[in-house]
Amino acid sequence: MRRKTLKVPGLLALALVAAACAPNATQDSLQPAGPYAEKAYDLFVPVFWVAAAIFVVVEGALVLFVWKYRHRKGREGIPPQVHGNTRLEIAWTILPAIILAGVAVPTVTTIFDLAREPEGQVLNVDVLGHQWWWEFDYPEEGINTANELHIPTGRPVYLRLCAVGLGYGGQVAPSECQPGPPDGAVPAVVGDSVIHSFWVPELAGTQDVIPGRTNFMVLQADEPGVYTGQCKEFCGLSHTFMRFQVIAHTPEGFDAWVTGQQQPAAMPAAGTPAAAGAEIFSGQCIACHAIDGLQDANGEPVVGSNGGPNLTHFAAQECFAGCMLEINDDNLRRWLDDPPSVKAGSWMPDYNLSPEQIDQLVAYLNTLR
């Protein structure tokens, strides 16, 4: 009888632990997919079990004492008035200190390990946190993407993180990784310069992105795949919708991607709705966006700006608006109609485009592969 009563909660607890972790979680720090995330995970797991052991001992003692020394009917008198025991006090001061020292050693070595600049075949990427989207700039490759960070597997990616935006006096907040506008364009900085935090749990821990500071972190993926991440530090109205994806390619796949990204966009054939869309784009959207390869009617290049995402390969992406929305015609129409009504606080204003203009713009954007 007694054994049975012990068995039931025991089994229940086991079932709970097994069921606790959702198997379908897709942004999961418990499923590290690269050496840098593994370092954090390899520290968390043993510490978790140490904590679990202490939990069992302390809560076990609590339950045991509460049960064993409960008041029983008919018990007379008052228990002996024990005031303490110095030896015990010393023991339970020193013992936890020793356990913690044991935890501290691997903690400290890993802190310094993670702070080291990676060596060898490193890919350098600048990560720029905007309100509320991510810009990824590849200075050596000359590539600029929004909300999608493409990386090769098996290579450490060294990220330089900066916040972009205006200080509250309206001046541009200084930032080391400001890539600057396209040649010949007026720089356009949109949105407030606030703190963000870059987190893609399956590939690395968190690093804050702070106005006026430059932070660094390393991540690496072992296997090709899509790893999701999002801004972790509250950064204003649409903090929720500052998501991004890291897309890991095989090394060959990455090289192919780089080559593709380095190509300028082709102009749509004259007379098509897409060409009309390109014209609208050249008139209004270039105030904040740029498309490499965009030309006016005379074939002269139209220089865009860098306040919003560079859209040269927009249609090759999966998501936009801080990865709030999947790229498809419906979402694009909804967005172009009135961005702030879709994404609260969006710095892209409502341009009062007619349904026809919206269709033309969508047609043009769809050509940007």
Sign of the torsion formed by the C-alpha atoms of 91, 93, 99 and 102? negative
Q: Closest CB to other proteins among 52 and 266?
A: 52
Q: Closest CB to other proteins among 48 and 142?
A: 48
With contacts defined by CB under 8 A, name the span among 100-108, 122-130, 244-252, 262-270 that binds other proteins: 100-108
Q: Closest CB to other proteins among 1 and 20?
A: 20
Q: Closest CB to other proteins among 15 and 270?
A: 15
Q: Which residues contact 103 (CB under 8 A, 6 or more apart)?
A: 47, 50
Q: Closest CB to other proteins among 59 and 296?
A: 59
Contacting residue, 201, 268, 308, 322, with other proteins by CB under 8 A: 201
Contact positions with other proteins (CB under 8 A) in 248-307: none
Contacting residue, 122, 188, 208, 282, with other proteins by CB under 8 A: 208
CA 21 – CA 27 distance, rounded (Å)? 12
Bond before 132 cis per omega within 30 degrees: yes
Phi, psi values for residue 361, rounded to 5°: -65, -40
Is the CB of residue 236 less than 8 Å from the CB of residue 345? Answer: yes
Contact positions with other proteins (CB under 8 A) in 18-77: 20-30, 37, 39-41, 43-44, 47-48, 51, 54-55, 58-59, 61-62, 65-66, 69-71, 75, 77
Q: Closest CB to other proteins among 8 and 95?
A: 95
Contacting residue, 122, 172, 275, 353, with other proteins by CB under 8 A: 172
For residue 196, give the H/E element and its range: strand 196-198
Q: Closest CB to other proteins among 81 and 354?
A: 81
Q: Please choose, from the candidates 149, 177, 158, the residue with its C-alpha nearest in 3D space to the C-alpha of residue 120.
A: 158
Q: Closest CB to other proteins among 172 and 302?
A: 172
Is the CB of residue 126 less than 8 Å from the CB of residue 136? Answer: yes
Q: Which residues contact 291 (CB under 8 A, 6 or more apart)?
A: 265, 281, 302, 304, 310, 311, 312, 368
Map residue 129 onto helix, strand or coil.
Answer: strand
With contacts defined by CB under 8 A, name the span among 2-10, 80-88, 136-144, 287-295 that binds other proteins: 80-88
Q: Closest CB to other proteins among 198 and 364?
A: 198
Is 85 near other proteins (CB under 8 A)? Answer: yes
Tell me how far, at minimum, the Cβ of 334 lies from other proteins, in Å. Answer: 14
The single-letter code of the amino acid at 242 is M
Contacting residue, 149, 194, 248, 363, with other proteins by CB under 8 A: 194
Distance (Å) of CA 265 to CA 71, 275, 313, 314, 367: 82, 13, 7, 10, 8
Is 197 near other proteins (CB under 8 A)? Answer: yes
Tokens linked to 14? 């086991």
Task: Count the site residues for other proteins by CB under 8 A.
Answer: 98
CA 146 – CA 314 distance, rounded (Å)? 9
Contact positions with other proteins (CB under 8 A) in 102-121: 103-104, 107-108, 110-112, 114-115
Tokens linked to 315? 């249609």
CA 268 – CA 228 distance, rounded (Å)? 33
Is 96 near other proteins (CB under 8 A)? Answer: yes
CA 292 – CA 304 distance, rounded (Å)? 8
Q: Please choose, from the candidates 67, 58, 48, the residue with its C-alpha nearest in 3D space to the C-alpha of residue 92.
A: 58
Is 92 near other proteins (CB under 8 A)? Answer: yes
With contacts defined by CB under 8 A, name the span among 210-218, 269-277, 279-287, 360-368 that binds other proteins: 210-218
Q: Closest CB to other proteins among 182 and 322?
A: 322
Contact positions with other proteins (CB under 8 A) in 223-252: 228, 230-241
Tell me how far, at minimum, the Cβ of 311 lies from other proteins, in Å. Answer: 23
Tell me how far, at minimum, the Cβ of 138 lies from other proteins, in Å. Answer: 22
